[in-house]
Structure 1
Amino acid sequence: MDVDVSTDPASTALSADNIGISFEATDLTDPRWDPDAGNLDEVLAKLGSPGLRFGGNQLDRGMFWTSSGEQPPAGRVAVTPEDLNRVARTVEKVDASVTLGIPLGDYDPERGADMVAHAKQAFGPHLLAVSIGNEPNGFTADHREGLKIRDTAEWDEDAYLTQVEAYRTAIEQRVGDDVSLVGPGAAEGSWMTAFLDAGFDETVALSQHWYATYECTSDVVPGRGPEWENLVNPLAHDSAERLLSIGLDKATAADIPLWVEETGPTSCPGTNDTSRTHASALWTVDYVLHAAEMGVERMNMHSMLGACKGGAPMSVVCSAEGTGEDGDGEVLTQPNFQGLRLAEIGVGGTFHDVAVSGSDAYAYAVRTEGSYIVTIVNNADAAQYGSREVTVTVPEGFTAERAAQIHAPSNAAQSETGYRELAEFADSGSGVKTAEDGRLVIDIAPSTATTIEFVHA
């Protein structure tokens, strides 16, 4: 297998905002956002200065904002200024950027404006933008109990924009016109077009949502059902490129960036065959780097602070104690979190084109100050295949010195993803056959993603 890195830079880059996590809005109430109350801040710090986003289905269906101590309606979780201030302590500690959803499910522009005012005060310059509602295209969905919050006959793109306009007016009256807006937070192109055509002056980005597997009752391989094999099948890689290109084309035409504010390996609820698999980690590395190389400027992997036992299958973190959505205790990382860690190594770099010969593999390269960072995702399954010899060629003057890797016994392995920190190649056992100016020959194991640092001589 050959990996050839071009000398010519692309027009895209990998930033800290590409390494992000999305949480349900009700997670804002979790006491562990206080750095003194748990290890959540330490976990997030492993991703550098990640992007954080709060939204999800609970934003419009389960959350109730109040700054006056009101009791929430039955079945709702009250979020208060104290909650935002607690989250802000971790945000400040890890230097995270924040996008915040404002509830639209219960139409109340003044209440929404009040939340924006308190968010602006709590997060300060860390608050990039607010989003009014989450996935408005799904407000009429009824395939799961509790999803439907608008009548089909009364809800479409125009009705959504009318309500957004009322929120915009209330926000401007409350805090002025310096709060940025991102939207519509939808997967459907017509909703993205309508949002852009509205021409809201404070819009700083177009937001798109996408999940790799979403046909929750399907077990077809290759396909879009929640089977681990589908995450490492070329269909997932190619589908991401096709769907994200829709948002990128629209954003480019509007001269604004595309943010993928909610995404992940599966949108299906409950534990499924993608849960905690090494395949989800390999998919994460490839997807994050692929999207950033295409031009996506911000990405947030949807997650929750619920329990590892019975919690959301796509989440990059979960809680050691509890069951389902009720999590407590130590925050643990999942295999796809290790994929984010590996992708983060190249933050700050500009992409260079890469030519790859060989199957079941993808490669990416970024140029940072003084180095090339090359990542090779080897989707060949360790349960069936052995190592492959890879020749990596980079521009002259750079020599391979260090590497990091995620690995597991197989792509199907659950909760067995290991992470090897960036370190110099060992004298033996590293797989290196030749390391010379502009060229590395190395045996790379199957079921791995490997990041190699080529340093300027």
Structure 2
Amino acid sequence: MPQDIPTNREAPPGERRNSRRKKVLAGAAALAVAAAAAVVVPVLLDGDEAPAAGPTGATFSVEAAPTLPPAPEFSYYQQMGPPEGSPLNPVAPLSVKIAAETTGTFLPDGLVGLSLEATDLADPSLSGDNPEMVESLSGLGRPLLRFGGNAVDRRFFWTSAGEAIPGNLKGDKAHPVRAVTPADLQRVNTLLEAVDGEIALTVDLGNYDPARAADMAKAATAAFGERLTGITVGNEPNGFAKTGLRGSGYGIPDYLTELKAYAEAIYAVAPEVPIIGPGTYESAWWKAFAETPLPQERILSFHHYPLSSCEGADPLGKPVMPNLTNRYIHDHANDFRGEALKPALANGLQTWIPETGVSACPGSNETTKTHASALWSADYALSAAQLGISRVSFHSSLITCTGGPPMSAICIGGEYLQPNGRVDERANYYGLSMVAEMPAGDFLKVETASGELTYPYAIRHADGSISVVVVNNHNPETDAQSQVTLELPGKALTGTMSQMTGPAYGAQDGTLIDGAPAEGTPAAERLTVPGFAYGSSTQTFPLTAGTVTVLNFTF
């Protein structure tokens, strides 16, 4: 949105330690709450390459063996319940039927990523030699790192010749002006190699210079090769007139003229690199970009911060906890993103969300850094993919956790603006991690009954297994477990689970995966769904409120 990620001098209640190195402890935590160990049945999940989405309505069959082998002995997953002494409000049962029919959309490999400011390219912490950063980003699967934000047109200067930074660029103590060079890109590439990630860049449009943008594209192609997924021209150009970057009359026709000049200059030196755009939050710009031919491939992109009615002009868009946890935010986000998909589909383009978060309002509010934001993040990513959006990057920052942007998924340890090199994760990071570590696959059609605040998703993987994800958005402090009846399209031989939990919507230091602050138990070591019915297509089990649960079934 048009404002910088806000700084907030209030330190989070507890700085979360990166826990990828504690992955074994996550498995141990899950085992500790399980029944006496019997046999943990491995489930092999396929996963590196995203399959092409099947056509809408494509069907498949799950063939069961004529005679099932004897049921093995299972170790059952034991969920955390509501806090002791909580008043338990009853929750209506949830019925979920998974069809043997695809939606035509798919969960891609690398769906989840982080968005950072363009000036962060100059930050030495973004290096493959930084184990803290490598471990943290690895918890997001194979992430896409997008560099852009408000910095790109205001405080960012690309140079391959060592020129002095122009005097018209202005920053402040927390957001300094920075020059970025080819050496910075080469350093960032070592990080991408370490996490097997990809990168998307943004070039300065606020200070018109197509030749400089092309020079950056040329250097980026040399540094990143196929890891470079695309380049955006300017950040949120629909806001240029409002923020004074351009004159009051600057609009879509001006943008398209300049876009073409940039695209042609970039194409001359990097013809294989797509242009991602327009990267705006106003719908008229989406259609204009989608209908404008360029010499290279195009990808439609837009930005979205659902709860950004900072002064409360729109009561349902104000960043308060009731708005973050109700059904409206889920449904309204689907409607908004559906509008962006229309011009993309009409013109045969992919659709990306390179910048998103709960809110763009300045400072902390009751939604930031909370377990509720973790639930929202997981649901937002999954629902985006199910709609047909293939990349979602959550806006974050490399400023210190103390005083830094409160909505950032990661932050840096140390006193305000005195980083100590430690990388910490906030609650929403764990919601993203739950989605990021699932294998790619086709979404299946789902029918639900009841479940006002539960959002189920089903994905069929290349190995024939099916993952069912249930985001249970009920209040973890006061709501009872939901009794779930799940109808699968085949007879399950194994069924395992991993679960993200939290003690309260507003908890800022209590989001766990499988009982630990980690990415979760490896797929082959997960325990069995409570009450698993061997050889049955009907599974019945409880789910704790305020959770994201990933179930996987083999047949």
| TM-score clears 0.5 | yes
- 2:77 aligns with none
Q: Contact 1:38–1:329 (CA<8 Å) still a contact in 2? A: no
Q: 2:120 aligns with which of 8, 22, 27?
A: 27
What CA distance in whole angstroms lies between the structure 2 residues aligned with 1:220 and 1:167? 37
Cα deviation for residue 439 of structure 1 reads: 2.4
Change (3 A) 1:201 1:413: same
What CA distance in whole angstroms lies between the structure 2 residues aligned with 1:65 and 1:229? 43
Q: 1:57 aligns with which of 150, 166, 189?
A: 150
1:213-362 equivalences in 2 (<5 Å) = 213-218=307-312, 223-323=316-416, 327-357=419-449, 358-362=451-455
Q: Contact 2:378–2:548 (CA<8 Å) still a contact in 1? A: yes
Structure 2 residue matching 1:32: 3-state secondary structure = coil
Structure 1 residue matching 2:140: 3-state secondary structure = coil
Q: Contact 2:233–2:277 (CA<8 Å) still a contact in 1? A: yes
Cα deviation for residue 293 of structure 1 reads: 0.5
Q: Contact 2:356–2:395 (CA<8 Å) still a contact in 1? A: yes
1:178-189 equivalences in 2 (<5 Å) = 178-189=272-283
1:403-442 equivalences in 2 (<5 Å) = 403-420=497-514, 421-422=520-521, 431-432=530-531, 434=533, 436-442=535-541
1:354-433 equivalences in 2 (<5 Å) = 354-357=446-449, 358-368=451-461, 369-420=463-514, 421-422=520-521, 431-432=530-531
What CA distance in whole angstroms lies between the structure 2 residues aligned with 1:148 and 1:214? 21
1:100-249 equivalences in 2 (<5 Å) = 100-141=201-242, 147-153=243-249, 155-173=250-268, 175-218=269-312, 223-249=316-342
Q: Contact 2:324–2:373 (CA<8 Å) still a contact in 1? A: yes
Paired residue type of 1:172:
Y
Cα deviation for residue 228 of structure 1 reads: 2.8
What CA distance in whole angstroms lies between the structure 2 residues aligned with 1:301 and 1:253? 26
Q: 2:188 aligns with which of 83, 87, 92?
A: 87
- 2:79 aligns with none
Change (3 A) 1:84 1:172: same
Cα deviation for residue 408 of structure 1 reads: 0.6
What CA distance in whole angstroms lies between the structure 2 residues aligned with 1:400 and 1:211? 39
Q: Contact 1:67–1:81 (CA<8 Å) still a contact in 2? A: yes
Q: Does 1:445 align with 2:544?
A: yes
Q: Contact 2:199–2:228 (CA<8 Å) still a contact in 1? A: yes
Structure 2 residue matching 1:112: 3-state secondary structure = helix
Paired residue type of 1:14:
L
Q: Does 1:66 align with 2:165?
A: no
What CA distance in whole angstroms lies between the structure 1 residues aligned with 2:206 and 2:323? 33
Describe the superposition over 1:388-446 as per-residue Cα deviations: whole angstroms up to 9, x where unpaired.
2111221113244211111111111112111122466658xx74365552222111111
Identity of aligned residues (%): 37
What CA distance in whole angstroms lies between the structure 2 residues aligned with 1:209 and 1:230? 19
Q: Identify which range, 265-274 or 288-297, moves more after superposition.
A: 265-274
Describe the superposition over 1:222-270 as per-residue Cα deviations: whole angstroms up to 9, x where unpaired.
x111123322211111111111111111100001111111111111222
What CA distance in whole angstroms lies between the structure 2 residues aligned with 1:291 and 1:172? 30
What CA distance in whole angstroms lies between the structure 2 residues aligned with 1:398 and 1:328? 49
Change (3 A) 1:435 1:58: farther
What CA distance in whole angstroms lies between the structure 2 residues aligned with 1:79 and 1:302? 20
Cα deviation for residue 312 of structure 1 reads: 1.7
Q: 2:553 aligns with which of 433, 437, 454?
A: 454
Q: Contact 1:434–1:440 (CA<8 Å) still a contact in 2? A: yes
Paired residue type of 2:543:
I
Paired residue type of 1:455:
T
Structure 2 residue matching 1:198: 3-state secondary structure = coil
Q: 1 or 2, which has the higher strand percentage?
A: 1
What CA distance in whole angstroms lies between the structure 2 residues aligned with 1:436 and 1:323? 56
What CA distance in whole angstroms lies between the structure 1 residues aligned with 2:424 and 2:438? 24
The TM-score normalised by the length of structure 1 is 0.93
Paired residue type of 2:255:
Y
Q: Contact 1:140–1:148 (CA<8 Å) still a contact in 2? A: yes
What CA distance in whole angstroms lies between the structure 1 residues aligned with 2:322 and 2:534? 34
Cα deviation for residue 203 of structure 1 reads: 3.2
Q: Contact 1:400–1:440 (CA<8 Å) still a contact in 2? A: no
Query: What is the number of residues matched between the two proteins?
Result: 445
Q: 1:5 aligns with which of 94, 98, 121?
A: 98
* More relative contact order, 1 or 2 (CA 8 Å, 6+ apart): 2
What CA distance in whole angstroms lies between the structure 1 residues aligned with 2:301 and 2:415? 33
Paired residue type of 1:123:
F
What CA distance in whole angstroms lies between the structure 2 residues aligned with 1:212 and 1:33? 29
Structure 2 residue matching 1:396: 3-state secondary structure = strand
What CA distance in whole angstroms lies between the structure 1 residues aligned with 2:499 and 2:345? 34
Change (3 A) 1:274 1:60: same
What CA distance in whole angstroms lies between the structure 2 residues aligned with 1:268 and 1:415? 22
- 2:13 aligns with none
What CA distance in whole angstroms lies between the structure 2 residues aligned with 1:97 and 1:426? 32
Structure 2 residue matching 1:262: 3-state secondary structure = strand
Q: Identify which range, 343-352 or 361-370, moves more after superposition.
A: 343-352
What CA distance in whole angstroms lies between the structure 1 residues aligned with 2:329 and 2:163? 45
Change (3 A) 1:328 1:56: farther
Unaligned runs of 5+ in 2: 1-93, 171-176, 515-519
Q: Contact 1:338–1:417 (CA<8 Å) still a contact in 2? A: yes
Cα deviation for residue 131 of structure 1 reads: 0.7
Paired residue type of 2:252:
E
The TM-score normalised by the length of structure 2 is 0.77
Q: Contact 1:131–1:181 (CA<8 Å) still a contact in 2? A: yes
What CA distance in whole angstroms lies between the structure 1 residues aligned with 2:444 and 2:415? 45
Q: Contact 1:228–1:277 (CA<8 Å) still a contact in 2? A: no
Cα deviation for residue 178 of structure 1 reads: 2.6
Cα deviation for residue 384 of structure 1 reads: 1.4
